[in-house]
Amino acid sequence: MSLRPLPLALALSLTCAALLVLGASVGAHGLDAALWAAPSLVTELRLPRSLAAWGCGALLGLAGAIAQGLFRNPLADPYLLGASAGASLGVALALVLAGNSAGALLAGSGWGLNLAAFAGAWGALGLTVLLSRGVSHTPRLLLAGVIVGVVLAAATQGLTLLDPSTLRPMQQFMLGSTSLLGWPQVALSLPLLALALTAALVGSRTLDALGLGEATARSLGLPLDGTRALLLALLALCSGAAVAQCGLVAFVGLVAPHTVRALGVSRYRWLLPLSALSGGALLLAADIVARWVMAPIELPVGLPTALLGGAYLLSRLAHSTGAAR
């Protein structure tokens, strides 16, 4: 199936708008009429949560498209360079420090944990770049990212074993949650998305050229090292901000670019914004499912994203296997 970029962008935008209306209409007892009957409930709780969930999903979709183009690997995701492990370690440290007055001041609010996760994600990326001796050697960068991820994940596990009281909040973080999202997160994620997307579009020609191979891209005279550094910074910015706000949400950053490519879009000047729209729609849909399917019990948002993302990738695998026969 192949669609032109503009009609696809319109279709995704309308889908996102419909999901926002649906998200504002889903409460503790499933679908209700609060959108009209109780507007304060919508404007103070449901609408900001839905908008922030969409913003986090869009950040992950954009980060996934950048990662897949940068590493020329369709299986790359926003957590490839250790960002998830760094964010987890940052949250674990904040929770352990919450046992004293300074730590309680940091971790006592959502913003404290957000800051800790964001700093951890950026620290992990910095360590990865340091170990790989720069950004010019992609295989070494990937290997360093794997090493950093394993080491930081082990450190996180060690902290949770030393302080078992952190196990429950860490479990919530690892499974992903949108329950604490509100207008402050909307005010952070949407401007950040606009900034990151604008900057990423500057590197779209380089991402297209990298798809032809490193040597070909260099022969075109493109500033590969500078653009790669910019894109890595954007990858860390988008993934760190999303993880800091809603935890480790699986598959959104991996599936969103795949969905857009499956619909016939390959040029990065369109793939980047469409992946953001697709990622926002995916996470918002997962948030609605998490609130609705077992209401009034709310599931971690990472469960529906893992189930939907895994089912999608399995269907793509079956389709490609059938086509190869």
In this prediction, residue 101 carries a pLDDT of 41
CATH number at residue 32: 1.10.3470.10
Task: Tell me what percent of the chain is helix, strand and coil, each rounded to the nearest 5.
Answer: 80, 0, 20
Side-chain-facing half-sphere of 23: CA atoms under 13 Å: 29
- Six-digit token pair at 265? 């879009």
Domains: count for the chain: 1
Please provide the average confidence, as pLDDT, over all residues in the chain.
84
What percent of the chain has a predicted confidence (pLDDT) above 70? 89
Peptide bond preceding 139 in cis form (omega within 30 of 0): no
Cβ burial of 164 (10 Å; 0-12, 13-18, 19+) is exposed
Write the single-letter amino acid at 133. R
Residue 2 has pLDDT above 80, yes or no: no
pLDDT in tens, 145-156: 889 999 998 999
Lowest-confidence segment of 238-247, 263-272, 281-290 by average pLDDT: 238-247
pLDDT in tens, 175-206: 888 988 889 889 989 999 999 999 999 999 99
Mean pLDDT of 27-45: 68
Higher-scoring residue by pLDDT: 156, 313: 156
Longest pairwise C-alpha distance within the chain:
64
For residue 28, name the pLDDT band (cuts at 50, 70, 90): low
DSSP string, 88-153: HHHHHHHHHHTTSHHHHHHHTSHHHHHHHHHHHHHHHHHHHHHHTTSSS-HHHHHHHHHHHHHHHH
In this prediction, residue 30 carries a pLDDT of 62
Higher-scoring residue by pLDDT: 290, 141: 290
Instruction: In whole angstroms, give the CA distance from residue 279 to residue 302.
Output: 14
In this prediction, residue 11 carries a pLDDT of 94
- E-assigned strands of 128-265? none
Write the single-letter amino acid at 179. S
In this prediction, residue 321 carries a pLDDT of 60
Q: What CA–CA distances, in Å, run from 191 to 50, 55, 56, 76, 295? A: 16, 9, 12, 25, 32
pLDDT in tens, 37-70: 567 778 888 899 999 999 999 999 999 999 999 8
Residue 109 has pLDDT above 50, yes or no: no
Side-chain-facing half-sphere of 202: CA atoms under 13 Å: 14
Instruction: In whole angstroms, give the CA distance from residue 28 to residue 296.
Output: 5
pLDDT in tens, 65-105: 999 998 888 878 888 888 888 988 888 888 888 764 444 44
Contacts of 317 (CB under 8 A, 6+ apart): none
Q: What CA–CA distances, in Å, run from 73 to 78, 211, 292, 299, 302? A: 12, 9, 35, 32, 23
Residue with tokens 């590969």: 224
Residue 184 neighbours by CB distance under 10 Å: 15
Residue 157 has pLDDT above 50, yes or no: yes
First to last CA, the chain: 19
pTM for the predicted model, two decimal places: 0.89
18: domain range?
5-324
